[in-house]
Amino acid sequence: MTLSSLFRQPAEQQIASLPLPCSVWLPDGRRIGAAQPRLSFVIRDMRALLHLTQGAIGRLAEDYVEGRLEIDGDMHDLMATAPALLRQDPTQEARGWLKRRINRTNRAIWARTHHSRARDAAQIQHHYDISDEFYALWLDPMRVYSCAYFSEPGMSLAQAQQAKLDHICRKLMMRSGERFLDVGAGWGALLLWAAEHYGVTATGITLSKNQHAYVNRLIEQKGLHGRVTMLLQDYRDIDESTPFDKIASVGMCEHVGRPNLPLYFAKMRRLLRPGGLMMNHSITAGGTDNPQLDGGMGDFIDRYIFPGGQLVHVGVMMDAMTRGNLEPVDAECLRPHYVRTLWHWADALEAHLDKARRMLGRDSERIIRAYRLYLAGSAMGFEQGWTSLFQILASRPGGKLELPGHVAGPLGETHVCYPFNRAYMYAQSSTAKPANSERAKS
């Protein structure tokens, strides 16, 4: 009996359970499944067939990247079938108290040892310094690499990303002349938007050499020296001598490590003036305690996409904020917005695969295969609720209430300058000005 024969029946059962007509080509040349499939898996290595029968979709993703498996079909169809391959909820923590205790202990040790300054820099550069031009193929023109905000029907990705930038600025109630810090500033979209539209003095940090160079070129081109600064710096090394009025952390704390989150938010608190506001925009886990997605998906992300990354549940995130002595004052779930954002990215990459291959050169196929699955798979994960996205607005208590027409009570001296409702986030902004306004140029 051959190995193909041994795994044939379990594979047939898996294929029959899928919601779309699919087929599998075995290493011995035989085919199982639909005669006219919408999706085909070509097994080059028996490990891929084993992973298929186990429902280990993260391992199958590794097989695809490493050439042990070929996939013929549309990414949307592939992601429609992926949840049916799994045998259990991937957001659940390991069963058994001893195994959970071991996992949590290992997780704490791993997070602390994997987040030295040198290692964090290497891990960030592994992901973000692949190629600026590669990211430009599938991001919007401003290269905003985080969840967009589709506030109006029919928005393009570029419009939704601008809406997200403005949404963050409004939540932070930015005012001209304030000092603003963008932690993990990426390709500079929020940093520059805040300076040009809200008149703040903006400082951004990144560990990506490519992003640092790119944003400094933009600062030069836009004549924003003195108003915008981009530093190649670890968040732990930000100068605390002059506090900031507002801080944004967009897609940053996923790289910090769960045990380090209270330390991260304590650092953010020390960087804020009393009464200052911080916006934390981050991906969160769908499960409360699982260290990563099961089925090999977490391992795939760590190996090929975000080494050292770690997600936590929104409850854990808010707990870490409070342990860092910040007060959460508003939380908004943007999970549906990230589904749409990710499909925009995934479809754009699919439309430019040949150009990406020419652009990346050596090892391009492995990178492209990994990103095809990462983008489409992430969209599927948000659709399923395995991951989510929250914007959490927090304050450093200690400011005064400064509401028009409001007389502060005896607790007024200990409260943040934060309104009693959300109306200010959605009303026509009175502070934002066009990018070419006189104030934006000053």
Interval 322-373: pLDDT, tens:
999 999 999 999 999 999 999 999 999 999 999 999 999 888 999 999 999 9
Q: Is residue 92 part of a domain?
A: no
**Would the CA dihedral through 152, 155, 161, 166 be positive or negative?**
negative
Q: 239 and 152, same structural domain?
A: yes
Match 């992926």 to its residue by tokens.
82
| pTM for this predicted structure | 0.87
Q: Is residue 197 part of a domain?
A: yes
Structural domain that includes position 374: 118-441
Q: Is residue 106 part of a domain?
A: no
Interval 188-243: pLDDT, tens:
999 999 999 999 999 999 999 999 999 999 999 999 999 999 999 999 999 999 99
Q: Is residue 31 part of a domain?
A: yes
Match 């199958």 to its residue by tokens.
60
Write down how long the chain is: 442
The overall average pLDDT reported for the chain is 86
**Would the CA dihedral through 290, 296, 301, 303 be positive or negative?**
positive
Cα–Cα distances (Å) from 36 to 13, 24, 33, 39, in that order, read: 18, 12, 9, 9
The Cα–Cα gap between 135 and 223 comes to 25
Phi first, then psi: what are they for 304, rounded to 5°? -105, -20
Give, as one character, the DSSP assignment of residue 434.
-
Match 């000092």 to its residue by tokens.
179
The mean pLDDT values, 10 residues at a time, for the chain of 442 residues are 62 86 92 94 94 91 96 96 87 61 56 66 72 94 97 96 97 96 97 98 95 96 96 96 97 89 96 95 89 82 86 94 95 97 98 95 91 97 96 86 49 56 70 39 32
What pairs with residue 238 in β-bridges? Answer: none
Match 């190649």 to its residue by tokens.
232
Token pair of 19 as six digits: 């919601």
Q: 169 and 51, same structural domain?
A: no
Q: 392 and 279, same structural domain?
A: yes
The Cα–Cα gap between 160 and 189 comes to 13
| pLDDT value at residue 436 | 39
Count up the domains in the chain and report the number. Answer: 2
Q: Is residue 91 part of a domain?
A: no
| pLDDT value at residue 396 | 93
Q: 301 and 210, same structural domain?
A: yes
